[in-house]
């Protein structure tokens, strides 16, 4: 583990990275706007669960395989890109709900989606993105001392810390989006927010599809 000063730097860097908008934040905000803070928080927990998979996989060497093997990276890249595009298309094709002055009625007009389905969506959005595995391989080792006795254990501990630090940030996004959803203008524009979110998810998917293997 790094010393206290480097540990604080690691935590601060993790918070800043988690505050940066991307497909994970978009997934949280979209569900929080549509179904409330609880749905957004569950979406964030699903994303956190996906990050744990990458952490332990990277510690076991799977992340290194993705970085070194063009085939492995390409296969996972295309699966992840297809999944993001599928989410985007679903949002783009969603029917406009009946506009009401009440957010709960607006949410009820949407096709019901269980918290389990929201969690699984966040989980797979993260797991199927090889860029997350590459990120952990590139970011975490910078804070592991060269003379660390068990580098794999240090990697796991720092990865877990990064994930735990992400929970309050993701929850903050969910709460902020839920607060925005109570504003009349946001309620009236919910259908167009789905369209915008759908287009952005398609964009993230296409961007992922065009990502080159860092090892090349």
pLDDT profile of the chain (216 residues), mean per 10: 74 77 82 89 95 87 66 73 76 58 47 84 87 76 70 84 92 89 58 67 75 58
pLDDT score, position 100 = 44
CA distance 216 to 25: 29
Query: Which ranges constitute the DSSP H helices of 96-150?
Result: 103-108, 115-127, 130-139
Give domain limits for the chain: 23-209
- What is the Cα–Cα distance from 120 to 122, expressed in whole angstroms? 5
pLDDT value for 101: 46
- The 8-class DSSP code of residue 97 comes to P
pLDDT given for residue 116 in this prediction? 93
| Closest among 191, 117, 104, 138 to 13, alpha carbons compared | 138
Residue 189's pLDDT is 55
Q: What is the pLDDT of residue 52?
A: 93
**Per-residue pLDDT at 117:** 93
CB atoms under 10 Å from CB of 16, counted, come to 10
Distance of alpha carbon 108 from alpha carbon 106, whole angstroms: 5
Q: How deeply is 146 buried, as exposed, middle or buried, from its count of CB atoms within 10 A (0-12, 13-18, 19+)? A: exposed
CA distances from 94 to 175, 194, 195 (A): 24, 8, 8
Cβ 38 vs Cβ 29: under 8 Å: no
Count of other CB atoms within 10 angstroms of residue 56: 16
Q: Which letter does DSSP use for residue 147 in this model?
A: T
Tell me which residue of 20, 203, 28, 30 sits closest to 123, measured CA to CA.
28
């Amino acid at each position: 583990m790094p010393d206290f000063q480097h540990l604080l730097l690691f935590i601060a860097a993790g918070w800043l990275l988690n505050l940066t908008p991307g497909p994970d934040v978009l997934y949280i905000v979209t569900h929080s706007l549509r179904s409330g803070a609880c749905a957004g928080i569950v979406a964030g927990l699903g994303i956190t669960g996906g990050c744990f998979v990458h952490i332990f996989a990277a510690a076991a060497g799977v992340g290194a395989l993705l970085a070194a093997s063009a085939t492995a990276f390409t296969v996972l890249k295309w699966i992840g890109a297809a999944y993001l595009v599928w989410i985007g298309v679903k949002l783009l094709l969603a029917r406009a709900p009946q506009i009401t002055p009440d957010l709960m009625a607006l949410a009820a007009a949407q096709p019901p989606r269980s918290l389990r389905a929201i969690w699984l969506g966040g989980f797979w959005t993260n797991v199927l993105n090889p860029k997350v595995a590459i990120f952990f391989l590139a970011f975490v080792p910078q804070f592991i001392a060269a003379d660390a006795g068990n580098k794999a254990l240090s990697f796991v501990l720092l990865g877990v810390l990064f994930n735990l630090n992400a929970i309050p940030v993701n929850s903050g996004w969910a709460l902020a989006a839920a607060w925005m959803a109570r504003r009349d203008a946001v309620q009236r524009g919910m259908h167009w927010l789905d369209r915008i979110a759908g287009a952005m998810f398609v964009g993230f998917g296409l961007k992922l599809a065009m990502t080159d293997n860092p090892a090349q």
